[in-house]
Amino acid sequence: MSAVSRYLFPILFVAVLLLPFALRAALSTDEAPETVEATEDAARLVVLTPHNSDIKSEYARAFSRWHRNRFGYDVRLDYRTIGGTNDIVKALATFYGKVREDNDGELPPIGEMEGVPYHIVWGGGDFVFNVELEGQAGALQAIELPSDLMAEAFPAPKLAGVRLYDQDDEDGMHWVGVCLSSFGIVYSPGYYANLGLESPTTWADLTRPELFDRIVLADPSKSGSAAVSYMMIVQRAMADAEEAFFAAGNTEESPGYDQAIDEGWMKGMGDLLLIAANSRYFTDSANGVPTDVSHANAAAGTAIDFYARVEEETVGRDRITYVAPPAATAITPDPVAVCYGTNGDDLLHATRFVEFLLTVEGQLLWQKEPGTEAGPSNRALRRTPIRRDVFADRTDWSDDVNPFEEAGGFNQRSAWMRGFSETRALWRAAWIDAGTQLDEAYRAILAVEDADRRDALFAQLRQMPVTRADVMAVRSQKNELADGEEAWFMAQQSSRMAERFREHYRELRNAAEGS
């Protein structure tokens, strides 16, 4: 064998191996999106988040670039995604609960904490941060941000009555909103056309009997964002009841106010019960609802705005359309916070990450089109910034929205959110744990031929065997328990509520069938 023949095959093998890399270099241009990756030896910031891969990758690149340009070295975001919001709450509550057990029921001073698994928790809704992570789990520590940055980002501390950052703690600010979320309906235009139905515009449109077995919902005990959307249906009905009460010349101090609010609560919960009865199944995650609707596995469902808009962009509005019911959806902050026990360089980098999220650069990344100045590299993130000033120029935005103009007078009320955790347990008991009996009762009612009798049975179905007063009583009892007893107590209460609903559904089924 000649020398040429001996080396020809290895030479050709190497050439073929390197060809794709050579072509990539030859075809690249100066207009290609810039990517800035942190080096392996960069400082590491551990971030616990339910955000999708697009958000995580874009903000990792943008923060690394911003930090390098400003401070001269990289910080790498080490993301940990363990599930949805509820999974995050459980994980942090378990960790800090164990720390308390080992320290006579108290958390050690921040500087003495060891083994903190996460530095940042990012995403999940203001109720989750304010009540579950801060209030119940004690998982957050106060964070100090530059006063000029706070003044620029939040010239007003609230949006339609909802706080945009933590404002009720004497020991400092424990969370800050970095973008906004709203909630609405996703539906399949083609599916609706086949059913001969007009497009939905209100929450009540999802209660139509024609949609039986054609709705998809997220499990409220597993998805915090889905649970908030359900709560907006209830709060809209409560607000309607309040407005009617005031229109009659009454005030909050008038006799009958609490009764009117309770009746509004029952009306909203009744709407939700009919929507749940129409559902074909419950997903574990809210982001699964738009996907299922776009694939025509369901006609409609409820969704957080950006999950819906991302799916719209991916498959087209002819397959899925998002609509926010007018004056019936909350606009709430999606926060970020520093986990308790973060200190030293980790605290320095965590604070800088929060600062970056509130800069104009960090805010525009939420809405800019891919490839534009300050925009993402790959796909639009389609979330709503929280800084009011960036809405002045919406050039190259993916969605022409302005919540500061569109919020109107309706929004989530913190006073009406009390009992939210217990209400989530009620929904789970009524819709899922007693789901078989609900389905049997609903089918039996639909089979009733006499329209008046059928409507009367639907009205009875809506009158649930658990009241708002019952929910608040459960909350009061739970708050009196020692740490560690709440989970057992709530499991017991959920089981009891499920049995009450089963009996309610069995009675209605028997009535519908004439038994």
DSSP string computed for 46-75: EEE----HHHHHHHHHHHHHHHHHHHSS-E
Q: pLDDT value at position 373?
A: 92
Q: Which of 371, 428, 367 is closest to 401 using CA atoms? A: 367
- Two tokens, residue 434: 């007693």
**Residue 406: what pLDDT?**
66
Q: What is the DSSP letter of 35?
A: -
Are the beta carbons of 120 and 130 closer than 8 angstroms?
no
**Rounded-to-integer distance, Cα 262 and Cα 245, Å:** 12
Instruction: Give the predicted TM-score (pTM) of the model.
Output: 0.78
10-residue mean pLDDT profile of the chain (515 residues): values are 42 39 35 44 91 95 96 96 87 94 92 94 90 92 96 92 86 95 92 96 95 95 84 92 96 96 97 96 88 94 89 90 84 94 97 98 97 92 95 93 73 84 95 97 96 96 95 94 84 96 98 88
**pLDDT of the residue at 9:** 40
Element at 178 (helix H, strand E): strand 176-187
CA pair distance 271, 11, nearest whole angstrom: 72
Terminus-to-terminus CA distance in the chain, angstroms?
95
Tokens of 332: 């709430």
pLDDT for the residue numbered 425: 94
Beta strands in 286-358 (DSSP E): 300-304, 321-323, 331-339
